[in-house]
Structure 1
Amino acid sequence: MIRIGNASGFYGDRSAAWREMLDGGPLDVLTGDYLAELTMLILGRDRLKDPSLGYARTFLRQMEECLGLAADRGVRIVTNAGGLNPAGLAAALGSLTARLGIRTTIGYVEGDALDRPGALAANAYLGAFGIASCLDAGAGVVVTGRITDASLVVGPAIAHFGWTRDDLDALAGATVAGHVLECGAQATGGNFSFFTELPDGGRRPGFPIAEVHADGSSVITKHPGTGGAVTVETVTAQLVYEIAAPAYPGPDVVTHLDTVRLAQEGPDRVRVTGTRGTPPPPTLKVGVAGVDGHRNAMTFVLAGSDLDAKAALVRAQVEDAVGKEGLTFTRTSTEFGALLHVAIHDADARRAGRAFSSAAVELALASYPGCTLTTPPGDATPHTVFTAEHIPQGPHWAIHPDGTRVEIPPPARVEEPSAAPAGRSPVRTSERPRGAYGTRSGDKGPDANIGVWARSADDYAALTGWLSGERLAELLPEVAGHPVERYELPNLWAVNFVIKGLLARRDWLDPQGKALGERLRARLAEAP
């Protein structure tokens, strides 16, 4: 087997995790995922200020402490921290190794960047064979730009076992392991619905490890003595995160998530087997990051009586000050009273900036009784947008430690994924399911997904017979009016919902859909 750990799930994750993973026990490879969709926008703005940037600078600081330790212990490092400039990060790492006197070799992957006029960044999601090529050439560190997150695990497995593009089941199995690892501590109890049941209450979950075998099966685990837990449910929670149909397309393989089987093998050890793969699609997903105007927000605290009248007065006063265009008003209840969130979206950074926020603060002594705001005035921020498109599969390039540039050809065998059935139509019953259900939700570009899993076969049967897309919209009013796709994953006792276009709303207070699952859990408990 090959033992692959993860030390980062996003740009800004626990900075000490790289050292913790290297000190915690044996590893063959340590990966780091930095490239959420929002990160590409951040890196795009960095590159506008300084063309030599565009990569995750925190990774360099982490490597200053950890690169020598990894080299001493024979642990190879694979990361997408190269972002929009993998060559730049590879060069910076070369300078770091020279300064510190560390003997290691660095390779990198490029070919994902595309030209889209007006965009901050446009990048194709590459596969894993470029990573494998660099590792085969002896790289101790491999840096990439935009790849699929799971490729961080699939690439080392390809290099270790010598898989080819025809080893579809093995590639699919490693993709599942990569999907479980890619968000770090989310697989070991982070953001877990039943966090109160974890041994340490979820205070400091460790980072995950995948022991990948030659057939693509794996065991998900973590270092001994670290927090959180690895259970069938913590792994299920990550498996249903940010997915759509069970046929999960990637650049190297379509992974059929409805074939995955999980089994608790021992404490903090979950075996993943049965994954089937079919040829990849003929196209690559492209993420296009851009800016659509500017945003700002101020929050008024409403207390006591006459809350409706107080909110109406604020609305009139703010509209008088800056005009109605681009304003939204959202009220939430609290034990103290209510919060009135006033947001603005405008192409003019000045109107959306201090002109708006200072006008709100100026009402402090001239508005409703008890007027108070939660923040001082602030500048507007760019309103970032992320859209997806597709291009035909094409080559990318692996740059080996000796500077050799190797073309990685696209897969010769491709297929359009067959349309997966959305699961049987639920039987609408009047009585909601009684069991306890876990959820995990997230973003897929402008769409949101909510995965719901049951804790027993009977509870799963009750869930699939009751929770339709229609009923989801009854429980979560914000879903109403949006197309909902519903998919069943019986091996996982799970149902996945994809809500189309939900996250494209400018007034949305949960822009990445992270809280949707917990809102649904609360509504399930309340439903008659």
Structure 2
Amino acid sequence: MTAAQTLRVGNCSGFYGDRFAAMREMLEGGELDVLTGDYLAELTMLILGRDRMADPAAGYARTFLAQLKDCLKLALDRGVRIVANAGGVNPPGLVAAIRDLGLDARVALVRGDDLTARAHDLGLGKPLGAHAYLGAFGIARALTAGADVVVTGRVTDASLAVGPAIAHFGWERTDLDALAGATVAGHVIECGTQATGGNYPFFTEIEDLGHPGFPIAEIRRDGSSVITKHSGTGGAVTVGTVTAQLVYEVGDARYAGPDVTTRLDTVALRAHGPDRVEITGVRGEPPPPEVKVCCTSIGGYRNELTVVLTGLDVEAKAALFRRQFEAAARGAAPAELTWNLARLDTADAPTQQQASALLTVVARDPDEKIAGRAFTSAAVELALGSYPGFFSTTPPGRAHPYGVFTAGFVPQAEARHEVVLDDGGVVPIDPPPLTQALAPHPGPAPEPAPAPAGPVRRLPLGTLAGARSGDKGGDANVGLWVRDDAAYPWLVSLITESAVRELLPEAAELPVRITRLPAIRAVNIVVEGLLGLGVAYHARFDPQAKGLGEWLRSRHVDIPESLLPEEAR
């Protein structure tokens, strides 16, 4: 370990498919105690579940195994422990494959997340997979027993960093503030280069974003931390890049986990030198009595066709094609048809592409033939008898199964959290002795604030505000923040439920929740149900809401001139 009072935890993966070379880059780039990798997301669990249905030996992140084949000896030589959730839906299979590499590494398995066989009895229905989000104490037990590599299935993303901190500092279940502080650090680094400038709204301010380095959390005994990266790597670590990741995919001010409920409204950030941001002040509360369960299922079959409408009479052309298509499909109509017309065309356009709009029809049905051949036939037979200039972006194809994500909850004790040590011994991990029912916390109520004096200008919201957005099951979140104290009362007064529905018309009929986080000058927005039944359902053009924040930033609002940066005045 680098020092008794500090643990350096790096990250080398934010998703299954992230930069393959990152593990070697992190191991060779500088000093580390632990290297983590996050390979799982809701969609990934569905993909891995289907992989294992086809091949019982599959179901884990094969790229992680390939990375270990390349780098495990290097990690062992440098004394760096590796902790990853790459086990997916088949962690024992990954452990066996690692041992087959033939290196003298002690490998431990964290298990108990897979509730699939008991899902019906637990009131979770009959999903393809049901996996509880386990906490960090199993990882910690594996490390204290000497594991060089810890493989898990579904744990909370932050647990990959919290577990090593528990092991290093000897934290107990009652050390809630320390656990909460490490949770924030883990949440910041879990998505890799999103903490070092990736997907950052003010990206033009970062000098070198060609190949951003992966993040490191220097976690201290009290749970505070410094977020940084290896010296000489690309990207940047600033208060802004850390804020952006901090508000990513969160709900309200209470960030619930199986070990601690973290109070996001207590987080304090400050610059701590070049590419160093300190996180302090985080408070923790007892965790909820239940753990969240990721339930994935095959919802049916999906097909899609996009036709191009060029030039004049776009609305009439779209209406004609829709009327003809629905008539042709009658008798074998899909259970669900959704239409979307994207008016990307401009008048008197200098190119044909700029003169074109896109009409997309999506079909979903339990029957593969109806979503497949019947859908395709209805589209093809219209090719010569529909609107003028008919063509599609791609030929209609066969239907594909689509997934459905639902969140379930079970008592903590129902997830039989265990560690299988390298020697085969099994250690049970008890659930937390103290829990607390989760209560919504929207942050402080907005205080009446006088409007800044002087004129206003109609400008994009992003002139002042940064944003990062993402998915939480079928809900979408957008975290907004400003960089000056003077602008925060304006942001709070601007972002109301009615304003969100006006600025984001797709949210007009949906529940909207708003949380205020004044310590980091942020406002978090959750739009319930915007993503339908989750990312694999593909309910909208941007199924994971990754660009939702940038759309919101592009909307025009009245901004007081006194708040504008000098270059925008």
TM-score class, shorter = over 0.9
Match of 1:271 in 2: 278
Which among 391, 406, 428 is matched to residue 387 of structure 1? 406
| Deviation readout 1:58-115 (Å, 9 max, x if unpaired) | 211222211122112111110001011111110111112x1xxx22110010001113
1:3–1:212 contact (8 Å) kept in structure 2: yes
How many angstroms apart in 2 are the aligned matches of 1:329 and 1:234? 37
How many angstroms apart in 2 are the aligned matches of 1:336 and 1:67? 54
Q: Which moved more, 1:488-497 or 1:287-296?
A: 287-296
| Deviation readout 1:248-283 (Å, 9 max, x if unpaired) | 111111111111100011111001111011111111
2:304–2:396 contact (8 Å) kept in structure 1: no
Q: After TM superposition, give the deviation of residue 397 of structure 1 in Å.
A: 0.2
How many angstroms apart in 2 are the aligned matches of 1:70 and 1:366? 65
How many angstroms apart in 2 are the aligned matches of 1:526 and 1:479? 21
Which among 71, 75, 79 is matched to residue 74 of structure 1? 79
The 3 A distance-change label for structure 1 pair 22 and 357 is farther
Equivalences for residues 283-432 of structure 1 within 5 A: 283-323=290-330, 324-325=333-334, 326-334=336-344, 335-357=354-376, 359-394=378-413, 395-425=416-446
Q: Which moved more, 1:323-332 or 1:438-447?
A: 323-332
1:354–1:377 contact (8 Å) kept in structure 2: no
Q: After TM superposition, give the deviation of residue 427 of structure 1 in Å.
A: 5.7
Match of 1:93 in 2: 98
SS in 2 for 1:353: helix
Q: After TM superposition, give the deviation of residue 365 of structure 1 in Å.
A: 3.7
How many angstroms apart in 2 are the aligned matches of 1:343 and 1:213? 51
Letter of the 2:402 partner, please give it: H
SS in 2 for 1:26: coil
How many angstroms apart in 2 are the aligned matches of 1:258 and 1:57? 38
1:487–1:496 contact (8 Å) kept in structure 2: yes
Q: After TM superposition, give the deviation of residue 501 of structure 1 in Å.
A: 1.8
1:361–1:373 contact (8 Å) kept in structure 2: no
Match of 1:521 in 2: 553
SS in 2 for 1:77: strand
Cα RMSD (Å): 2.0
How many angstroms apart in 2 are the aligned matches of 1:322 and 1:28? 61
Match of 2:484 in 1: 456
Letter of the 1:57 partner, please give it: R
- 1:485 paired to 2:485: no
Match of 2:158 in 1: 150
How many angstroms apart in 2 are the aligned matches of 1:358 and 1:191? 41
Match of 1:244 in 2: 251
1:204–1:228 contact (8 Å) kept in structure 2: yes
Match of 1:48 in 2: 53
- 1:116 paired to 2:144: no
Equivalences for residues 438-449 of structure 1 within 5 A: 438-449=466-477
Match of 2:35 in 1: 30
Q: After TM superposition, give the deviation of residue 370 of structure 1 in Å.
A: 1.9
How many angstroms apart in 2 are the aligned matches of 1:94 and 1:24? 26
Q: For structure 1, list consecutive stretches of 5 or more residues without a partner in the other structure.
A: none
Letter of the 2:513 partner, please give it: E
| Deviation readout 1:2-46 (Å, 9 max, x if unpaired) | 111111111111122112111211111111101101111101101
Q: After TM superposition, give the deviation of residue 527 of structure 1 in Å.
A: 8.7
SS in 2 for 1:503: coil
SS in 2 for 1:504: coil
How many angstroms apart in 1 are the aligned matches of 2:308 and 2:217? 48
How many angstroms apart in 1 are the aligned matches of 2:131 and 2:521? 35
SS in 2 for 1:350: helix
SS in 2 for 1:293: strand
How many angstroms apart in 1 are the aligned matches of 2:498 and 2:174? 41
The 3 A distance-change label for structure 1 pair 427 and 328 is farther
Q: For structure 2, list consecutive stretches of 5 or more residues without a partner in the other structure.
A: 1-5, 121-125, 345-353, 561-569
How many angstroms apart in 2 are the aligned matches of 1:362 and 1:24? 59
| Deviation readout 1:464-502 (Å, 9 max, x if unpaired) | 112111110011011112111111101110001111222
Q: After TM superposition, give the deviation of residue 316 of structure 1 in Å.
A: 2.5
1:236–1:492 contact (8 Å) kept in structure 2: yes
The aligned length equals 523
Q: After TM superposition, give the deviation of residue 361 of structure 1 in Å.
A: 4.1
Match of 2:501 in 1: 473
Q: Which moved more, 1:233-242 or 1:369-378?
A: 369-378
Match of 1:140 in 2: 148
SS in 2 for 1:130: helix
Q: After TM superposition, give the deviation of residue 355 of structure 1 in Å.
A: 3.2
Q: Which moved more, 1:270-279 or 1:378-387?
A: 378-387
The 3 A distance-change label for structure 1 pair 512 and 403 is same
Match of 2:526 in 1: 498
Match of 1:106 in 2: 107
Equivalences for residues 201-216 of structure 1 within 5 A: 202-216=209-223
Q: After TM superposition, give the deviation of residue 197 of structure 1 in Å.
A: 1.4
1:426–1:466 contact (8 Å) kept in structure 2: no
How many angstroms apart in 2 are the aligned matches of 1:381 and 1:438? 37
How many angstroms apart in 2 are the aligned matches of 1:336 and 1:197? 34
Match of 2:267 in 1: 260
Match of 1:128 in 2: 136
2:265–2:443 contact (8 Å) kept in structure 1: no
Letter of the 1:509 partner, please give it: F
Taking structure 2 as the reference length, the TM-score comes to 0.88
SS in 2 for 1:163: coil
Q: After TM superposition, give the deviation of residue 284 of structure 1 in Å.
A: 0.7
Identical-pair percentage: 59
Q: After TM superposition, give the deviation of residue 357 of structure 1 in Å.
A: 3.2
